[in-house]
Structure 1
Amino acid sequence: MMDNKMIVEGSLRSEDGGFSFLGRLPYYRGLGLSMIEDIQVTVDGVVQPRETVRFSAHGNTYTLDEMETVYDDRWNFGEKARIIVLNGELAAGDHQITFAVRYRVSYLPFVPTTKDTKDLALAA
């Protein structure tokens, strides 16, 4: 798979009350947003609370709970979405980010979870 391409290098930035980075879906066919079961972000070994994670693409921003009922929007293979975490701002410097996505595919008898970990720098 394309797990090692999920996090876009150099995309970490500060957000009001948090931070964000660009992420890609590694599944080759793309998925409707309602098929994304969970997105987990870990920063420097600390898992960020699910309720603080947002997904932003095509001019829309969703909580993970809202994504469960979004049937008219997709996340296509290779498309960059902004993953936002509203759990306090990060200090400038290097941070280890792990980005994991769990999704449903109708013909698979299991629920795949893919993840990528990268060291990203946040500018001062």
Structure 2
Amino acid sequence: MMDNKMIVEGSLQGVEGGFSFLGRLPYYRGLGLSMIEDIQVSVEGEALPREAIRFAVRGKTYTLDEMETCYDNRWNFGEKATIIALNGGLSAGEHAIGFAVRYRVSYLPFVPTTKDTKNLALAA
């Protein structure tokens, strides 16, 4: 339903040691960061290791391991978080970026994973 809105168009940027893009949580209520079980990022279909992913929201940056015990911050519905991938960087041009989020919701009998893939251009 909201999967195709997860990656924000035109948000790909180079950062020191990698790249970043803006991502949205496709769950309608928002979640505490400790309820985000995993974030996966891929480039051209190749998944990056968990240790290479960082998550930033409202001026704070977390590793995925740090998010597991973060009980005082949230990712709200529609809020644009910065997803940082430390992969050594991307060349200028268009890249297929994949973004998946696995999260925990107490009343669901399964652990949902939502994903989106978009072709984003990195300026020279």
Is the pair's TM-score, using the shorter chain for normalization, greater than 0.5? yes
Summarize deviations over 1:49-81 as a string: whole Å, max 9, x none: 100000000110000000000000000000000
Match of 1:17 in 2: 17
Amino acid at match of 2:123: A
Amino acid at match of 1:33: L
Offset at residue 10 of structure 1 (A) = 0.2
**Partners in 2 of 1:49 and 1:100 — Cα distance?**
13
Give the 5 Å matches for 1:1-124: 1-124=1-124
Amino acid at match of 1:80: K
Amino acid at match of 1:35: M
When the two structures are aligned, how many residues end up with a matched partner? Answer: 124
Q: How large is the RMSD of aligned CA atoms in angstroms? A: 0.4
**Partners in 1 of 2:98 and 2:123 — Cα distance?**
19
**Partners in 2 of 1:72 and 1:54 — Cα distance?**
18
**Partners in 2 of 1:45 and 1:101 — Cα distance?**
16
Offset at residue 26 of structure 1 (A) = 0.1
Offset at residue 87 of structure 1 (A) = 1.3
Provide the identity percentage. Answer: 80
Q: Normalising by the residue count of structure 2, what TM-score does the alignment of the two structures yield?
A: 0.99
Offset at residue 111 of structure 1 (A) = 0.1
What SS is found at the alignment partner of 2:66?
helix
Q: Normalising by the residue count of structure 1, what TM-score does the alignment of the two structures yield?
A: 0.99
Offset at residue 41 of structure 1 (A) = 0.3
Offset at residue 45 of structure 1 (A) = 1.3
Offset at residue 113 of structure 1 (A) = 0.1
